Structure 1
Amino acid sequence: MSKQKLEEIVPQEALPQFLATEKSRILLSFKDEGELGLMQSKAGGRAYLPKSEPYPRNGDGQPLSLLAQINFEEMPALDNFPTRGLLSFYVDYNDDIIGIDFDEPTNTNGFRVFYFEDFSEVSYSKEEQDALFESVDKDDFYPVVEGEFWMYGQENSQLLLTDSYDFKKVFGGDFYEVAEKLVGEDDDKLDELFELAEVGSQLGAYPYFTQEDPRKYQEGVRHDTLLFQLDSVGIDTFNYGIIWGDCGIGNFFINLEDLKNKDFSNVMYNWDCT
């Protein structure tokens, strides 16, 4: 985050409130490294899933697909997040809206989140998981991740500069309303401020939406913490190895206390696109 650039855009008296929002996050990047192991951090591919756990399926019995998994031993440490174990996210590629329930975004019919603190149990093999998809109609299959990509992370900081529930809670208004009060109707400065948001795939800190944050209209927001965000991105020779609809973004939210307790049973799933 360019704090110097922020100082050039907003009035000096407004700077402390913005700077006080600084949070650490793990910014995620991806590489095409060929076939990966079941326990590696990745987007797409096949995951570690112990055989004591039924393979996740939608209400019609069709298998869900691995969106991404994070092996925390491969990531930098981040406050409140686990330091070991594996967190995996599955979504429904058999559904053209990728398993989201817009009315009840915690409904797990079309998505699932698993956390395994160790890898002591035998997992379904890649071949066993591949076999589950042999009968899937590829004409009605809508993958977000086109392939399997190694995921790696680096810790950096992020300021609150996106229109969201978080922003409204801190600043008392929508991002655009607050920004116009600070910089007037100077479109160039408004664009510059918006571009400082540093959107990306990440763990923790602040979310981004191509439309709007659905939590802004909820009373008593429970899912107050960004757990995981996956952005549309080109990877190596893939123009868009990861893409949500028309270049959108997906996010998963959790209650902070649940995160501290490693309880991932109540997660909110959202994605939107332009």
Structure 2
Amino acid sequence: MTSLREIFPNDEQYQAFKQTEVERIYLSFSRAGENRLTTSKAGGFGYLPKTEAYPRNEQGKPLSLLAQLNFSELPHITPYPTKGLLAFYVDMYDDLIGLDFDEPTNQNGFRVFYFENMDEEAYTKEEIQAFFAEYADEELYGVVNEELKIRGELETQLLTSDSYNFVQIYGMNFYDYLEKHVDEDKVDDVADALFDLGSTGGSALGGYPFFTQEDPRQYAGEVKQTELLFQLDTNNKGIMWGDSGIGNFFISKEDLENKNFSNVWYNWDCY
């Protein structure tokens, strides 16, 4: 892999990209059979206390667990919690998987929960299955085909692809920046090298997002949700968004610091 210094021998340009380096928790998946309700996982059945109504869409159909992250099982990055469980549910009876293009923070088709403690009585697997039994004949637009255990590892990441974050830092989009600072005949090669170096794809907590199309936040005016909260990418373990797409959840710095997950921006796209 080409290094950042090889891509930008000029120190000013090298430093411009180097300063964007941040930590993220890269997430990997394994088929480990059925796990505890509180285990970090994608798909399957998660921890949801009975004091919380089971999440449903506007038609009353139950939402499905997309993924949950138990922070006690993962490395820590600031300002994520050091304990508790963060869970994401989406509407898999909807061909848009709960996405509201007009209001991406509208949690009718998705839900984000955070439980600081996991000591309350929770719905059992059998009770959750019963919620879905009434709709057994309806089509599901599944994202995760089976329960997968999640593991996390710390890694650093550079901002090396087009996004709302890139525009905020550089004042222009990714390709305009390259056209301004790189010889015309090298723009595509440099873009490819930066993309490979940045590792913006994959599933992660924190870091910078990846899109198969484009970042919808770039056209939304003032955006509070500047931080990538969670990203779940298509992989060969049975996770698939449409045609090899990717899902993202964004949050404001203030809300993440305050563990407030009521105003999350949800997006997914595919090729």
Give the TM-score, by structure 2 length: 0.95
Indicate which of 247, 250, 258 corresponds to 2:247: 250
Task: List structure 1 segments (4+ residues) > 4 angstroms apart after TM superposition.
Answer: none
- Aligned pairs for 1:201-240 (under 5 A) are 201-235=203-237
| Gapped regions of structure 1 (runs ≥ 5) | 236-240
Number of the residue aligned with 1:145: 144
Contact 2:211–2:246 (8 Å) recurs in 1: yes
AA aligned opposite 1:232: T
- Aligned pairs for 1:65-214 (under 5 A) are 65-137=64-136, 140-183=139-182, 184-186=184-186, 187-198=188-199, 199-214=201-216
Structure 1: distance between partners of 2:207 and 2:127: 36
Contact 1:226–1:251 (8 Å) recurs in 2: yes
Residue 266 of structure 2: SS of its match in structure 1? Answer: strand
Contact 1:11–1:182 (8 Å) recurs in 2: no
Question: Which region of structure 1 is more displaced relative to structure 2, 184-193 or 28-37?
Answer: 184-193
Q: 1:178, CA displacement in angstroms?
A: 1.3
Structure 2: distance between partners of 1:265 and 1:180: 39
Root mean square deviation of aligned Cα: 1.3
Residue 196 of structure 1: SS of its match in structure 2? Answer: helix
Structure 2: distance between partners of 1:220 and 1:142: 32
Residue deviations 1:92-116 (CA, integer Å, cap 9, x gap): 0000010000000001110000000
For the pair 1:5 / 2:7, whether they are aligned, the reply is no
Q: 1:11, CA displacement in angstroms?
A: 4.3
Q: 1:191, CA displacement in angstroms?
A: 1.9
Contact 2:228–2:249 (8 Å) recurs in 1: yes
Give the TM-score, by structure 1 length: 0.94
Structure 2: distance between partners of 1:138 and 1:191: 45
Q: 1:246, CA displacement in angstroms?
A: 0.5
AA aligned opposite 1:231: D
Residue 185 of structure 2: SS of its match in structure 1? Answer: coil
Q: 1:218, CA displacement in angstroms?
A: 2.1
AA aligned opposite 1:125: T
Residue deviations 1:187-227 (CA, integer Å, cap 9, x gap): 33332222222121000111111111111112221111110
Residue deviations 1:249-273 (CA, integer Å, cap 9, x gap): 0000111111101111111100001
AA aligned opposite 1:178: Y
Residue deviations 1:26-68 (CA, integer Å, cap 9, x gap): 0000000011110000000001000010000000000000000
Identity %: 56
Structure 2: distance between partners of 1:138 and 1:155: 42
Contact 1:144–1:244 (8 Å) recurs in 2: yes
Structure 2: distance between partners of 1:188 and 1:259: 36
Residue deviations 1:8-39 (CA, integer Å, cap 9, x gap): 12241201110000101100000000111100
Contact 1:10–1:182 (8 Å) recurs in 2: no
| Gapped regions of structure 2 (runs ≥ 5) | none
Structure 2: distance between partners of 1:104 and 1:211: 18
Structure 2: distance between partners of 1:255 and 1:261: 10
Structure 2: distance between partners of 1:162 and 1:114: 30
Residue 185 of structure 1: SS of its match in structure 2? Answer: helix
Contact 1:25–1:202 (8 Å) recurs in 2: yes
Structure 2: distance between partners of 1:167 and 1:195: 16
Aligned residue pairs: how many? 267
Contact 2:90–2:98 (8 Å) recurs in 1: yes
